[in-house]
């Protein structure tokens, strides 16, 4: 019997996946989690064989870690547990981050049910499962053009604060923050910081 934990911040999706997997004789859902904190607690109580992990799953306060950050913690502490990242958005940039975090699968939520079930069985055989379209798009997209500092400043800008607030949060001068934002916008071909945040986020280049 393959034990599975379903992690998603939407109750309907969790319940749908649980019902779907319950139809398979060799699969057993042993738990559900609505946020990254719940995932970690559930794994500590009873490590499953496989986790279906939503890529965008904030903590109970609406912030906290996403599914990829939680995956990194789980694979480091529970190496026998396999993590399959699930995404609605099909953003190829997340694929690289997911694999670096230790995930062994990366699939689209609206893939046919039989593909999801087959993916669970395949990762238990030691294989990787990656949506082929996302794999091709990820190779085409390449690595992030942003420096570590540019990504840090852009991530802070995603919170919507002023330049002063961003400078305070990343411990840099306002002039340096403006320079990093300008450089990031230039590299991403963005007309403003909001567009730069959107492009970097959709490409999976912001943690």
What's the pLDDT score for residue 66?
Answer: 82
Tell me the C-alpha distance between 105 and 107, whole Å: 7
Q: What is the pLDDT of residue 64?
A: 54
Q: Where are the domains of the chain?
A: 2-140, 148-202
pLDDT tens digits, 41-90:
999 999 999 999 998 876 555 555 688 889 999 999 999 999 999 987 66
pTM of the predicted model as reported, rounded to 2 decimal places:
0.72
Dihedral, CA of residue 61, residue 103, residue 25 and residue 125, to nearest 10: -170
Convert the pLDDT of each residue in 2-12 to its tens digit.
999 999 989 99
Task: pLDDT band for 127, please (50, 70, 90 cuts).
Answer: very high
What is the three-class DSSP state of 84?
strand
Question: Tokens 């034990």 map to which residue?
Answer: 3
Q: What angle do CA 21, 23, 24 make, to 5 degrees?
A: 75
pLDDT band at 141 (very low <50, low <70, confident <90, very high): low
Pick the CATH number of 2-140 from 3.40.640.10, 3.40.50.2300, 3.40.1030.10, 3.10.310.10: 3.40.50.2300
Taking the CA atoms of residue 205, residue 172, residue 160 and residue 64 in that order, the dihedral angle to the nearest 10 degrees is 60
Whether 153 has a pLDDT exceeding 90, the answer reads: yes
Q: What is the mean pLDDT of residues 154-181?
A: 91
Q: 148-202, what's its fold?
A: Arc Repressor Mutant, subunit A (1.10.10)
Is the pLDDT confidence value at 202 over 90?
no
Whether the CB-CB separation of 88 and 134 falls below 8 Å is answered with no
- pLDDT(32) > 90: yes
Instruction: Give pLDDT, residue 139.
Output: 59
pLDDT, tens digit (0-9, with 9 covering 90-100), for 83-126 = 999 987 666 667 878 888 999 999 888 888 899 999 999 999 99
Average confidence score pLDDT of the chain? 88
Cα 135 to the chain's mean position, in Å? 15
* Burial state string for 60-87 with b = 16 or more CB within 10 A and e = fewer than 16: eeeeebbbbebbbbbbeebeebbbbbbb
């Amino acid at each position: 019997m393959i034990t599975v934990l379903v992690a998603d911040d939407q109750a309907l999706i969790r319940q749908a996946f649980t019902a779907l997997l319950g139809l398979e004789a060799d699969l057993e859902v042993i738990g559900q989690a609505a946020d990254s904190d719940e995932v970690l607690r559930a794994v500590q109580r009873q490590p499953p064989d496989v986790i279906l992990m939503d890529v965008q799953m904030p903590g109970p306060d609406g912030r906290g870690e996403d599914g990829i950050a939680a995956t990194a913690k789980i694979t480091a502490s529970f190496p026998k547990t396999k993590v399959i990242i699930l995404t609605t958005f099909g953003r190829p940039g997340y694929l690289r981050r997911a694999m670096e975090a230790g995930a062994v699968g990366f699939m689209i939520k609206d893939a046919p049910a039989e593909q999801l079930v087959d993916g669970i069985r395949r990762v238990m055989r030691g294989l990787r499962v990656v949506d082929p379209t996302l794999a091709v798009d990820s190779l085409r997209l390449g690595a992030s053009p942003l420096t570590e500092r540019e990504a840090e400043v852009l991530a802070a800008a995603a919170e919507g604060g002023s330049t002063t607030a961003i400078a305070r949060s990343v411990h840099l001068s306002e002039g340096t923050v403006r320079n990093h934002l300008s450089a990031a916008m230039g590299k991403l071909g963005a007309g403003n910081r909001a567009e730069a945040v959107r492009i970097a986020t959709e490409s999976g280049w912001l943690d």
